[in-house]
């Protein structure tokens, strides 16, 4: 459900999407830690509760469903969606505008539908990257290895991942996360090229 937003100045955006467990968050962290590029992590808002050590304002902005609905009505989101029943995620307009005003390019770690919606909003001002697991078996192994999901959630995420893989060709770049360090290096080089004036 995108609503338009034009970059300020030469502002650009880098969008990472992947099936849950493919390693996009690790990839994003690797990019942010390994580069001297003017990048900032765009923190999404969600109605899901924090996992483990997650803190509000770091991994996500945690909102109640009522708060989230109110922000939707106010037009505060560039895009948002109900990813799983009762669990919403969204990209706050204020977060992106703040970074652009500081001369920073936002980096998004969003699900596949969110990535496509953001690409639609930003157009050629954004590069969209689809992070692929080496195989569905590897993906299942990674999801189980987290130890944070119930069996029902794992099966739901795997079914969703199967559908999401069909959308990989809609992204600018497809990157198989087989060798993490190699994948991070590839993405740094890709982003360096994309950000060149």
Q: What is the pLDDT of residue 95?
A: 93
Q: What is the pLDDT of residue 7?
A: 54
Would residue 2 count as lying in a domain?
no
Read off the tokens for 168. 């990989």
Beta bridge partners of 79: 91
Q: Which pLDDT tens digit goes with each residue over 52-97?
A: 888 999 889 999 999 999 999 999 999 999 988 889 999 999 999 9
Alpha-carbon span 191 to 67, nearest angstrom: 34
Q: Which pLDDT tens digit goes with each residue over 30-45?
A: 999 876 889 999 999 9
Would residue 35 count as lying in a domain?
yes
Nearest to 31 by CA among 197, 193, 159, 185: 185
Alpha-carbon span 177 to 111, nearest angstrom: 16
Would residue 1 count as lying in a domain?
no
Would residue 4 count as lying in a domain?
no
Q: Dihedrals φ, ψ of 4, to 5°?
A: -50, 150
Q: What is the pLDDT of residue 6?
A: 54
Read off the tokens for 192. 């360096």
Q: What is the pLDDT of residue 35?
A: 67
- Comparing 13-27, 62-76, 118-132, 152-166, the range with the smallest average pLDDT is 152-166
Domain count along the chain: 1
What does pLDDT average to over the chain?
87
Read off the tokens for 185. 């290096």
Beta bridge partners of 15: 108, 128
Q: Residue 134 — pLDDT band, cuts 50, 70, 90?
A: confident
Q: What is the pLDDT of residue 3?
A: 44
Inform me whether the pLDDT recorded for 114 exceeds 80: yes
Q: What is the pLDDT of residue 2?
A: 40
Which whole-number Å values give the CA distances from 127 to 17, 75, 84, 172, 192, in the listed order? Answer: 11, 24, 26, 6, 11
Residue recorded with tokens 């991070």: 184
Would residue 184 count as lying in a domain?
yes
CATH number where 135 lies: 3.40.50.300
Specify the DSSP class assigned to residue 124: G
Inform me whether the pLDDT recorded for 9 exceeds 80: no
Alpha-carbon span 34 to 184, nearest angstrom: 8
Task: Provide, rounded to the nearest whole percent, the portion of the chain with pLDDT above 90.
Answer: 55
- Say how many residues make up the chain: 197
The helix-helix angle for 180-195 and 24-34 (nearest 10°) equals 60
């Amino acid at each position: 459900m995108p609503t338009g937003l034009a970059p300020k100045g030469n502002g650009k955006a880098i969008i990472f999407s992947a099936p849950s467990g493919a390693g996009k968050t690790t990839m994003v962290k690797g990019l942010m830690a390994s580069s001297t590029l003017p990048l900032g992590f765009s923190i999404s808002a969600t109605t899901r509760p924090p996992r483990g050590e997650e803190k509000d304002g770091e991994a996500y902005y945690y909102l109640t469903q009522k708060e989230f609905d109110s922000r939707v009505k106010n037009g505060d989101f560039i895009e948002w969606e109900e990813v799983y029943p009762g669990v919403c995620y969204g990209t706050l307009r204020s977060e992106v505008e703040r970074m652009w005003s500081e001369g920073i390019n936002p980096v998004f770690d969003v699900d596949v539908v969110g990535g496509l919606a953001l690409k639609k909003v930003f157009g050629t001002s954004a590069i969209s990257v689809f992070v692929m697991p080496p195989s569905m078996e590897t993906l299942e192994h990674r999801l189980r290895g987290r130890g944070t999901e119930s069996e029902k959630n794992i099966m739901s995420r795997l079914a969703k991942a199967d559908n999401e893989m069909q959308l990989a060709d809609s992204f600018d770049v497809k990157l198989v996360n087989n060798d993490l360090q190699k994948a991070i290096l590839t993405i740094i080089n890709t982003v360096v090229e994309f950000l060149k004036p």
